[in-house]
Amino acid sequence: MLKITLNEQPTALTLVFEGRLSEPCTSEAEQCWRDAITRAGNKEINLDLNGVSFVDVAGESLLGKILERGATVHADGVLMAHLVEELRHKQAIPETTDSRRTPRPHRSPGA
């Protein structure tokens, strides 16, 4: 089961996926994605994958299409962040995701 939520702000549109991104839900997710593109106009499009627990081959294909269109992807979990990174490398898409936190500078105990 996949829950899809569309959050619209003045400058951005965020599509939130929660649950399992797998058949038969991927066709509905793709339709929501296409509707979001149409609705966004000049707004930035974001995809929030923080609530996704599983992705099958059809889900990977959809994520690849979404990444090709230049969406900013939010994926905090290790598994989802890794999947997004793999899809980017397969398609040679520049990284525009905040799936990894910026490391903090190391301070020595004496400083």
**pTM attached to this predicted model:** 0.75
Q: Is pLDDT above 70 for 12?
A: yes
Q: Where are the domains of the chain?
A: 2-91
pLDDT tops 70 at residue 103: no
37-80 residue pLDDT tens: 898 888 999 999 999 999 999 999 999 999 888 888 888 888 88
Q: How far apart are the C-alpha atoms of 4 and 34, rounded to whole Å?
A: 13
Domain 2-91 in CATH 3.30.750.24? The answer is yes
Question: Which tokens in the block code for residue 107?
Answer: 């301070």
Query: Residues 54-60: contacts with CB within 8 Å, 24+ apart?
Result: 54/19, 54/20, 54/21, 54/22, 55/20, 55/21, 55/22, 55/80, 55/83, 56/20, 56/21, 56/22, 56/23, 56/26, 58/22, 58/23, 58/26, 59/20, 59/21, 59/22, 59/26, 59/29, 60/87
pLDDT digits (tens, 9 = 90+) for 31-43: 999 999 898 888 9
Residue 109 has pLDDT above 70, yes or no: no
